[in-house]
């Protein structure tokens, strides 16, 4: 068995020293697509922020490729190969699509390399090529989310973390987003995503963790979770 690319052990994390996440453990294997699912307020974003270094654990350990990153800052985890696309997109509204993308590669110094990656991503996201010179604020919600995803890929992450990318999108766009993430994963990038859209996320994931008020209440293969009566009752209205 290969070693996990990400291993979180007994993680407590929260705000101002008060935990909202209580002792969760999870791991992601190289090449996997793993989903953390749960209701609004369960602690998903807090976990993601802590893994990527925007917050630090109150207790517990986070290993990335065997390195303890619990006390790393976000720019350090990015350098190691972790890219986080936060909830709510956070693109630069007044900057062009192209410029937004280029900023995603800010750890890379070579202009030629940045250009190469830009070209590659515009190939994958043709809708962004058509709008490359427009300011980001002129894009639709779905296009802005595509831009946020593409920008997150500009650093060529080993672990790509996505926070509620389906939020506020219409169903057809959500489906497109899920297809895009599947394709990115098939092309070799390891993905960890969090979603309130439990069914949609589990349909593309290999494995999943269900989180409720800061604790993992269930985990398993995506199939097992999709078939679980508890999960179906609690999150799929069945
Ligand atoms: N900046 C903050 N300060 C204090 N509490 C927060 C802050 N952000 C989130 N929380 C609380 O932490 C808990 C988990 O929130 P969050 O991780 O955002 O959940 P999710 O992403 O699953 O919706 C919630 O109870 C929320 O109210
Ligand atoms: Mg959240």
Kind of pairing between the strands at 6-15 and 59-64: antiparallel
**What's the whole-number mean pLDDT along residues 184-213?**
97
pLDDT at 126 over 80: yes
Q: What's the CA-to-centroid distance between 86 and ligand 2, angstroms?
A: 9
Q: How many Å lie between the centroid of ligand 1 and the Cα of residue 122?
A: 34
DSSP 155: T
Cβ 18 under 6 angstroms from ligand 1: no
Nearest CA to ligand 1 atom 1: 15
Which ligand is the nearest neighbour of the Cα of 39?
Answer: 1
Q: What is the mean pLDDT of residues 134-152?
A: 94
Q: Where are the domains of the chain?
A: 1-81+158-238, 84-156
Q: How much is the average pLDDT of 214-230?
A: 97
Find the angle CA(23)-CA(65)-CA(31) to the nearest 5 degrees.
Answer: 95
How is residue 153 written in tokens?
Answer: 């890929």
Mean pLDDT, to the nearest integer, of 20-26? 98
Q: What was the pLDDT predicted at 237? A: 78
| Alpha carbon of 85 to ligand 1 centroid (Å) | 17
Q: Name the band, by pLDDT with cuts 50, 70 and 90, for residue 88.
A: confident
pLDDT attached to residue 170: 87
Residue 35: which pLDDT band, with cuts at 50, 70 and 90? very high
Task: Please write the tens of the pLDDT for every residue from 183-194.
Answer: 999 999 999 999
Ramachandran area for residue 123 (φ above 0: left; ψ -120 to 50: alpha; else beta):
alpha
Ligand 1 atom with the smallest distance to the CA of 40 is 23
What is 1-81+158-238's CATH superfamily?
A: P-loop containing nucleotide triphosphate hydrolases (3.40.50.300)
79 pLDDT tier (thresholds 50, 70, 90): very high
Across 85-106, b (16+ Cβ under 10 Å) vs e yields bbeebebeeeebbbebbbebbe
- The yes-or-no verdict on residue 84 having pLDDT over 90 is yes
Q: Which of 12, 38, 43 has most ligand 1 atoms within 8 Å of its beta carbon, as the pocket-test mutant?
A: 43
How far is Cα 234 from Cα 238, in angstroms, rounded to an integer?
8
Among protein residues, the one with the nearest Cα to ligand 1's atom 16 is 43
């Amino acid at each position: 068995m290969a070693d996990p690319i990400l291993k979180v052990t007994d993680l407590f994390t929260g705000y101002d020293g008060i935990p909202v996440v209580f002792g969760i453990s999870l791991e992601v294997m190289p090449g996997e697509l793993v989903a953390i699912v749960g209701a609004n307020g369960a602690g998903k974003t807090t976990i993601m922020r802590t893994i990527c270094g925007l917050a630090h654990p109150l207790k517990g350990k986070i290993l990335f490729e065997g390195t303890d990153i619990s006390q790393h800052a976000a720019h350090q985890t990015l350098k190691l190969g972790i890219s986080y696309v936060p909830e709510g997109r956070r693109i630069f509204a007044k900057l062009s699509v192209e410029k937004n993308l280029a900023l995603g590669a800010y750890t890379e110094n070579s202009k030629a390399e940045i250009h190469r990656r830009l070209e590659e991503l515009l190939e994958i996201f043709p809708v962004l090529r058509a709008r490359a010179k427009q300011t980001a604020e002129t894009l639709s919600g779905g296009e802005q989310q595509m831009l946020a995803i593409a920008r997150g890929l500009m650093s060529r992450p080993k672990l790509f973390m996505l926070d509620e990318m389906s939020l506020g999108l219409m169903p057809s766009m959500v489906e497109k987003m899920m297809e895009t993430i599947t394709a990115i994963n098939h092309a070799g990038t390891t993905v960890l995503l969090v979603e309130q859209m439990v069914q949609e996320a589990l349909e593309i994931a290999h494995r999943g963790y269900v989180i409720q008020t800061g604790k993992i209440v269930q985990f398993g293969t995506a199939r097992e979770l999709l078939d679980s009566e508890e999960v179906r009752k609690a999150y799929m209205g069945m």
